């Protein structure tokens, strides 16, 4: 009996030490305990003591960073996040992408654009479908006038499926600046479905349709601003554009009428610079309406105001000659006519960058992103880390692709499911597949957005994907009444496959390099 009592006492002492004394002696336990009791200052002191003894404790750095951010001690909290990236160790609680994302948000708030861009760009290396990172990378590139590269990231964003006005408008502006013919109008049209009364989207659509020479559509969008906007500046621009479009649409008399009303408005509001521009416009509009006397009247007014404006001295002199009935017809024919300058007027009525300078997406702060982009190209031998052309996979990514081939059917399905999640989708259903060994199909939704997405994952070896599987997926998307398709493959595309990938707007293709980067996070 005494031995039993002794055993119970010893066991009690052990339990007391394990559950009561040891936690109190453990600095991390004490810090967590203080935090649970809302004794934040005490918790901070304990966490800092831990770091004094172990500066590489990344979990404590993470906890401290979150506490400091909650207290608006941004600078100090940022230092702890930067220290985690330096230590370069992570676990289930402290994920690298979470650290990079939080830092990027802080950098962006502090207008440290280059650092923010670097962090969002790094997130995309591990999570190519991360919507937030894609969003910021696309808009930062656009704001800094990397138009071609920005368009590629906007295309990836749009293919994620979520209908977002800002994204669609940004994609339209990027493609417009890249001198694309049809794409800008398609993006602006989708943006206007979401906000039909947006002045800037209607203006952008008018310019895009003008470039396509669809003057009727351009006039309609300019008219929407004129009739419905409360922004006087937007209405002024739209009225001037409308007048010019009328000339292009062979309705010059209507154009003269619109521009005359605008001239009256400008004079009434003492807009001297604008008066000069409109008088110049009116001269050409009147010429197209075969009103030479009226054209001369307006140009002469302009000449009296500013005789050095563009070529107004030549135009007034030449038009007066053309109107002079005493000059022999043969003499007139040897000289060029003022109407010959109309095309130049139309081309230069708005500067090439007018829409860009007025769309609100141009960054006020100029930042050189070349160092980040150059480092990415050197690392991945790609233009921007995402391209449908073949490129060399990293050793790690190649190893993961090989491991993906070697998985049994069950584990292949599990890893494929997780890869889809990393790309920004949530699997709702596993679909029957004819050959389960080398393929699995899912019905998924975008996160966020909840757009229905048909996913095909294919682990094919020693072949190049032609256009046929991509066309089949596009048809299956339609049959399933899904919004889009996601084709994930371990094989590169053939030339015909690349062309199909560019052409099929409903299909997004994830190639081996991108898949390998995702698998490196999972396997």
Give the domain-ending residue among 42, 67, 94.
94
What is the total count of domains within the chain? Answer: 3
Residue 104 belongs to a domain: no
Residue burial 242-273, b: 16+ Cβ < 10 Å; e: rest? bbbbbbbbebbebbbebbbebbebbeeeebee
Task: Encode pLDDT of 223-232 as tens digits.
Answer: 999 999 999 9
Domain endpoint, select from 36, 63, 94: 94
Residue at 183 is within a domain? no
Q: Are residues 512 and 403 in the same domain?
A: yes
On whether the CB atoms of residues 153 and 120 are closer than 8 A, the answer is no
User: DSSP of 412-479, one letter per residue?
Assistant: HHHHHHHHHHHTTEEEEEEEP-S-TTTEEEEEEEETTT--EEEEEEE---S--B-HHHHHHHHHHHHH
Per-residue model confidence (pLDDT) at position 4: 62
**Would residue 142 count as lying in a domain?**
no
Same domain as 354, residue 398: no
Give the closest residue to 210 by CA, choosing from 232, 236, 188: 188
Do 274 and 317 share a domain, yes or no? yes
pLDDT at position 463, please? Answer: 80
Distance CA 136, CA 115 (A): 12
| 166 domain-assigned | no
Q: Which CATH number fits the domain that encloses residue 90?
A: 1.25.40.10
* pLDDT for 394: 54
If asked whether residues 426 and 320 sit together in one domain, one would say no
Residue 225 lies in a domain: yes
**CA–CA separation, 251 vs 256, rounded Å?**
9
* Interatomic CA distance for residues 514 and 380, integer angstroms: 11
Are 291 and 238 members of one domain?
Answer: yes
Q: Which of 319, 327, 275, 314 is nearest to 297 (CA)?
A: 319
Q: Specify if 134 maps to a domain.
A: no
Distance CA 221, CA 398 (A): 51
Cα separation, 86 vs 191, in Å, equals 42
216 and 316 inside one domain: yes
What pLDDT is attached to residue 6? Answer: 66
What pLDDT was estimated at residue 139? 96
* Domain presence at residue 127: no
310 and 408 fall within a common domain? no
* Same domain for 442 and 484: yes
Q: Residue 236 belongs to what H/E stretch?
A: helix 232-248
Instruction: Give me the tens of pLDDT residue by residue for the chain, a chain 523 residues long.
Output: 556 666 655 665 545 444 444 445 567 777 777 777 777 788 788 888 888 888 898 888 888 888 888 888 888 888 989 888 898 888 878 888 888 889 989 999 889 999 999 999 988 887 888 889 999 999 999 999 999 999 999 998 888 877 899 999 999 999 999 888 889 999 999 999 999 999 999 999 999 999 989 999 999 999 999 999 999 999 999 999 999 999 999 999 999 999 999 999 999 999 999 999 999 999 999 999 999 999 999 999 999 999 999 999 999 999 998 888 776 655 555 467 888 888 889 888 998 899 999 999 999 999 999 888 887 766 544 444 444 433 444 566 778 888 888 888 888 888 999 899 888 888 888 888 756 667 899 999 887 667 899 999 998 877 888 888 898 899 889 888 998 999 999 888 888 888 888 888 889 999 888 888 888 878 7
- Both 207 and 352 in a single domain? yes
Domain that holds residue 39: 2-94
CATH assignment of the domain containing 515: 3.40.1350.10
pLDDT at 17: 43
User: Cβ of 510: how many Cβ atoms within 10 Å?
Assistant: 22
Which of 111, 105, 110, 424 shows the shortest CA–CA distance to 120?
A: 105
Q: Looking at 51, 78, 94, which one is the last position of a domain? A: 94
Cis peptide bond prior to 448, omega within 30° of 0: yes
Place of tokens 């979520």: 162
Strand order in 425-431's β-sheet?
Answer: 425-431, 439-446, 452-458, 484-489, 507-510
Angle of helix 165-177 relative to helix 199-211, nearest 10 degrees, comes to: 30
In whole angstroms, give the CA distance from residue 517 to residue 55.
30
Residues 208 and 318 in one domain: yes
Shared domain for 346 and 206, answered yes or no, is yes
Q: Answer yes or no: is 219 within a domain.
A: yes
Same-domain check for residues 411 and 500: yes
* 211: phi then psi, degrees, rounded to nearest 5: -60, -35
């Amino acid at each position: 009996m005494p031995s039993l009592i002794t055993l119970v006492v010893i066991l009690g002492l052990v339990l007391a030490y394990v559950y009561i004394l040891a936690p109190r002696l453990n600095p991390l336990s004490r810090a967590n305990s203080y935090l649970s009791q809302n004794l934040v200052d005490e918790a901070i002191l304990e966490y800092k003591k831990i770091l004094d003894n172990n500066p590489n404790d990344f979990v404590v750095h993470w906890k401290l960073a979150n506490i400091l951010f909650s207290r608006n001690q941004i600078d100090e909290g940022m230092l702890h996040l930067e220290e985690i990236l330096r230590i370069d160790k992570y676990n289930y609680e402290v994920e690298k992408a979470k650290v990079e994302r939080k830092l990027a948000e802080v950098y962006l708030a502090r207008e440290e654009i280059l650092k923010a861009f670097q962090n969002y760009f790094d997130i995309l290396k591990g999570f190519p479908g991360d919507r937030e990172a894609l969003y910021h990378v696309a808009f930062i590139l656009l704001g800094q006038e990397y138009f071609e590269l920005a368009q590629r990231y906007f295309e990836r964003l749009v293919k994620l499926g979520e209908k977002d006005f800002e994204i669609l408008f940004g994609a339209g502006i990027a493609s417009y600046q890249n001198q694309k013919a049809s794409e800008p109008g398609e993006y602006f049209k989708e943006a206007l479905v979401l906000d039909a009364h947006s002045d800037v989207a209607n203006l952008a659509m008018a310019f895009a349709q003008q470039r396509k020479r669809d003057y009727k559509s351009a006039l309609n969008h300019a008219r929407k601003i004129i009739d419905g906007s409360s922004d006087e500046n937007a209405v002024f621009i739209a009225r001037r554009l409308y007048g010019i479009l009328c000339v292009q649409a062979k309705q010059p008399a209507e154009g003269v009428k619109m521009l005359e009303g605008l001239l009256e408005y400008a004079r009434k509001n003492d807009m001297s610079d604008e008066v000069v521009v409109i008088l110049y416009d009116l001269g050409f509009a009147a010429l197209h309406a075969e009103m030479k006397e009226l054209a001369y009247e307006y140009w002469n007014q302009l000449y009296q105001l500013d005789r050095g404006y563009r070529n107004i001295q030549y135009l007034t002199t030449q038009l007066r000659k053309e109107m002079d009935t005493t000059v022999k017809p043969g003499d007139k024919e040897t000289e060029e006519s003022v109407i010959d300058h109309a095309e130049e007027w139309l081309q230069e009525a708005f500067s090439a960058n007018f829409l860009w300078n007025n769309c609100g997406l141009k960054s006020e702060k100029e930042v050189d992103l070349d160092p980040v982009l150059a480092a990415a190209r050197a690392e991945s031998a790609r233009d921007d880390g995402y391209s449908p052309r073949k490129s060399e996979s990293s050793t790690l990514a190649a190893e993961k692709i090989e491991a993906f081939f070697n998985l049994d059917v069950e584990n292949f399905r599990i890893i494929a499911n997780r890869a889809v999640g990393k790309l920004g989708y949530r699997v709702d259903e596993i679909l029957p597949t004819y050959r389960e060994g080398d393929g699995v199909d899912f019905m998924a939704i975008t996160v966020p957005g909840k757009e229905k997405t048909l996913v095909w994952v294919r682990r094919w070896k020693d072949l190049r994907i032609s256009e046929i599987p991509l066309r089949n997926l596009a048809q299956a998307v339609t049959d399933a009444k899904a919004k889009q398709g996601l084709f994930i493959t371990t094989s590169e595309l053939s030339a015909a496959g690349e062309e199909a990938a560019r052409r099929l707007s409903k299909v997004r293709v994830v190639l081996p390099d991108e898949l390998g980067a995702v698998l490196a996070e999972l396997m």
